[in-house]
């Protein structure tokens, strides 16, 4: 089998066999197919696409490029949830303890990646002492014992993805649906859970800017799950404005803790977390219907068992569980600045991407892989789309440690908020649900 022929076949729009796809992926991972041929192959996929069977074969070849985690020592239906990412997206820290408190084991491995704000791992690491570097054995032991663990993904899971993603990043082949679907699903399948819930974000602050693209990606990933016998469902949620009101690592942990303790009722972040949690309970056989799942999740908030479970998880991962009792024990920024409205009106738009940048320039996220994160800094948004502001009223707060970074953050934040005299249309939070 020659890579040249496989590239040409895909370039010409033909369908590749399982053997051809496996050959390209596995030989590339080993280093016997060079970057330039893999680049051409992925560009051919970008233009010619892949059908469901090819995408499933691509995914499984990526899974088989490395280790897989065997979670069978843990009883029950093990669940995982993946978000395609967005700003102020802290649902994992809320739903993982709630779902575990309802008796469904949550075994979650997260990647690190670049972002405006840190990923889930960075957020967790803002908790003093907490570690996400845990061996597979300890991971399984922890989920068996307390029902939940959120840890860093080890390098040996889907190594093909790591190599291919780095190449896609510099060859303009990131935004190909089969390549994205294979990338995400290979890591999730290798991580070994029985059920996977995908939160596909749609909107200006998301990877998928339109609902149609989000739907296509979601159904592709659900199709892969079906093809390999894993329970997979996807929810498409709005990321046209930031989901949470707090943006920045320790600030996002604070908001998650507050929601677990029953604060912020009716907030968008709480609503999406509860919806995702309800789906996970159904997928994990702990509820028959979504309304039943929702009732159970709500109860785990009001009776405090979700917050308690989060404390158990923090303690198991060597962090200070007292942050749940007192969020001031999280890293605190030295400077707080109010950002005030120049005129009265309705908030008509909040550009999530820009808000993310406003947090990143304070040090909340990484521009380059080597950058270090300032856990304490970030933003609190006091308004959502559709709400009114008075001239001179503070609509956001900047939390900074470096005086010199405030001006640029404020400029980006002001630019990200649009105001109108008429009430704007507010998009629904949950845009669609896709399951097989
Ligand atoms: N996230 C991933 O893990 N992979 C992609 O290709 C895109 C988003
Ligand atoms: Ca918008």
Best residue among 174, 176, 220, 224 to mutate for probing ligand 1, ranked by most atoms within 8 Å of CB = 174
Positions marked catalytic? 82, 161, 168, 183, 187
Which atom of ligand 1 lies at the shortest distance from residue 111's CA? 3
Nearest CA to ligand 1 atom 7: 180
Residues 6+ positions from 393 with CB-CB distance below 8 Å: 340, 341
Q: Tell me what pLDDT residue 154 has.
A: 75
**CA atoms 197, 434, 436, 102: torsion sign:** positive
Name residues contacting ligand 1 (CB within 6 A).
165, 179-180, 183-184, 207
% the chain with pLDDT above 90: 91
Run of H or E including 150: strand 148-152
Q: Which residue has the tokens 């820290």?
A: 93
Provide the β-strand partners of residue 253. Answer: none
Mean pLDDT, residues 53-57 taken together: 97
Q: Which of 84, 176, 184, 201 to mutate to test the pocket of ligand 1 (most atoms within 8 A of CB)?
A: 184
CB–CB of 77/281 below 8 Å? no
Residue 82 reports pLDDT greater than 70: yes
Give tens-digit pLDDT for 233-271.
Answer: 999 999 999 999 999 999 999 999 999 999 999 999 999
Q: Which residues of 299-323 are buried (b: 16+ CB within 10 A; e: fewer)?
A: ebbeeebbbbbbbbbbbbbebbbeb
Share of the chain above pLDDT 70, in %: 99
Q: Where are the beta strands (DSSP E) in 112-213?
A: 148-152, 195-202
Q: What is the mean pLDDT of residues 419-435?
A: 94
pLDDT in tens, 178-212: 999 999 999 999 999 999 999 999 998 888 889 99
Nearest 5°: CA angle at 230, between 29 and 222?
85
Chain CA centroid to CA 283, Å:
19
Angle at 66 between CA 318 and CA 436, to 5 degrees: 90
Per-residue pLDDT of 218-228, as tens digits, reads 999 999 999 99
Where are the chain's structural domains? Answer: 3-49, 79-155+190-326, 332-420
Segment 7-42, tens digit of pLDDT? 999 999 999 999 999 999 999 999 999 999 999 999
Which residue matches tokens 């068992």?
305
Measured distance CA(334)–CA(290) in Å, rounded: 43
**Bridge partners of residue 418, in order along the sequence:** 349
Q: What are phi and psi of 334, to 5 degrees?
A: -80, -35
**Atom 6 (ligand 1): residue with closest C-alpha?**
180
DSSP 367: S
Query: Helix (H, G, I), strand (E, B), or coil: what is residue 385?
Result: coil
CA gap 364, 342 in Å, rounded: 26
pLDDT tier at 116 (50, 70, 90 boundaries)? Answer: low
**Structure token pair of residue 252:** 């996002």
Give residue 209 CA to ligand 2 midpoint distance, Å: 10
Q: What is the pLDDT of residues 378-407, one digit of tens each?
A: 999 999 999 999 999 999 999 999 999 999
| 3-49 and 332-420, same CATH topology | no
In this prediction, residue 113 carries a pLDDT of: 64
Long-range contacts, 65-68 (Cβ 8 Å, 24+): 65/25, 65/26, 65/29, 65/158, 65/159, 65/160, 65/161, 66/29, 66/156, 66/157, 66/158, 66/159, 66/160, 66/190, 67/154, 67/156, 67/157, 67/190, 68/157, 68/189, 68/190, 68/191, 68/192
**Which amino acid residue places its CA nearest to atom 2 of ligand 1?**
184
For the cut 90, the answer to whether the pLDDT of residue 217 exceeds it is yes
Considering the domain 3-49 in this protein, what is its CATH number? 1.20.970.10
Q: What is the mean pLDDT of the chain?
A: 95
Per-residue confidence (pLDDT) for residue 208, from 0 to 100: 84
Compute the average pLDDT of residues 427-431: 93
Mutate which of 161, 162, 173, 186 for ligand 1? The one with the most ligand atoms within 8 Å of its CB, which is 161
The CATH number of domain 79-155+190-326 is 3.40.50.1100: no
Q: Tell me the pLDDT band of 117, cut-offs 50, 70 and 90.
A: low
Residue 197 near residue 233 (C-beta atoms within 8 A): yes
pLDDT one-digit tens code per residue, 59-68: 999 999 999 9
What is the CATH code of the structural domain delimited by 332-420? 3.90.1170.30
* Separation CA 35–CA 30 (nearest Å): 11
Contact 421, 369 (CB under 8 A): no
Query: Over 70: is that where the pLDDT of 155 sits?
Result: no
Residue 371 has pLDDT above 90, yes or no: no
Q: Whose CA is nearest to atom 5 of ligand 1?
A: 180
Residue 381 CA to ligand 2 centre (angstroms):
15
d(CA 139, CA 228): 24
Residue 111 confidence (pLDDT) = 77
Enter the DSSP assignment of 395. E
Mean pLDDT of 365-389: 92
When pLDDT is averaged across residues 399-422 and rounded to a whole number, the result is 97
| Distance in Å, CA 306 to ligand 2 centroid | 32
Look at residue 402 and give its three-state secondary structure: coil
Cα angle vertex 35, ends 29, 36, to 5°?
Answer: 145
Ligand lying nearest the CA atom of residue 84: 1
Q: For 86-106, what is the mean pLDDT?
A: 96
Distance (Å) from CA 277 to ligand 2 centroid: 26
In 191-340, which ranges are continuous DSSP H helix? 211-228, 249-260, 268-283, 290-302, 305-316
* The two three-digit tokens of residue 401, written as one number: 């440690």
């Amino acid at each position: 089998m020659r890579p040249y022929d496989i590239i040409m076949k895909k370039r010409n729009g033909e369908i590749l066999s399982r053997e051809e796809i496996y050959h390209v992926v596995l030989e590339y991972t080993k280093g016997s197919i060079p970057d330039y041929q893999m680049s051409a192959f992925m560009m051919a996929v970008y233009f010619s696409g892949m059908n469901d069977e090819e995408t499933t074969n691509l995914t499984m070849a990526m899974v088989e490029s490395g280790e897989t985690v065997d979670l069978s020592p843990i009883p029950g239906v093990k669940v995982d949830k993946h978000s395609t990412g967005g700003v102020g997206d802290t649902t994992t820290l809320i739903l993982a303890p709630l779902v575990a408190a309802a008796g469904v084991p949550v075994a979650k491995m997260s990647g690190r990646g670049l972002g405006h704000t840190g990923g889930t791992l960075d957020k967790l690491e803002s908790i003093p002492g907490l570690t996400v570097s845990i061996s597979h054995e300890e991971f399984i032991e922890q989920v068996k014992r307390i029902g939940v663990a959120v840890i860093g993904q080890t390098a040996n899971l889907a190594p093909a993805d790591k190599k291919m993603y780095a190449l896609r990043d510099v060859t303009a082949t990131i935004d190909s649906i089969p390549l994205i679907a294979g990338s995400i699903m290979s890591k999730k399948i290798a991580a070994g859970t029985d059920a996977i819930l995908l939160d596909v974000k749609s909107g200006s602050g998301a990877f998928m800017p339109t609902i149609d693209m989000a739907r296509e990606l979601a159904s592709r990933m659900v199709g892969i799950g079906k093809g390999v016998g894993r329970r997979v469902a996807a929810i498409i949620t709005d990321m046209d404005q930031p989901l949470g009101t707090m943006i920045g690592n320790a600030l996002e942990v604070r908001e998650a803790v507050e929601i677990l303790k029953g604060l912020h009722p009716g907030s968008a972040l709480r609503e999406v977390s509860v919806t995702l949690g309800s789906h996970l309970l159904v997928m994990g056989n702990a509820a028959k219907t979504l309304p039943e799942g929702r009732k159970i999740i709500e109860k785990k908030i009001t009776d405090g068992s979700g917050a308690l479970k989060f404390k158990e998880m923090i303690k198991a991962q060597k962090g200070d569980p007292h942050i749940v009792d007192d969020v001031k024990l999280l890293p605190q920024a030295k400077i707080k600045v109010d950002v005030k409205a120049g005129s009265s009106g309705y908030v008509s738009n909040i550009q999530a991407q820009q808000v993310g940048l406003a947090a990143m320039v304070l040090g909340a996220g990484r521009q380059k892989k080597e950058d270090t994160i300032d856990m304490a800094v970030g933003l609190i948004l006091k308004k959502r789309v559709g709400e009114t502001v008075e001239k001179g009223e503070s609509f956001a707060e900047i939390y900074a440690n470096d005086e010199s970074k405030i001006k640029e953050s404020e400029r980006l934040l002001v630019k990200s908020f649009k105001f109108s005299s008429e009430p704007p249309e507010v998009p629904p939070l949950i845009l669609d649900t896709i399951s097989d």
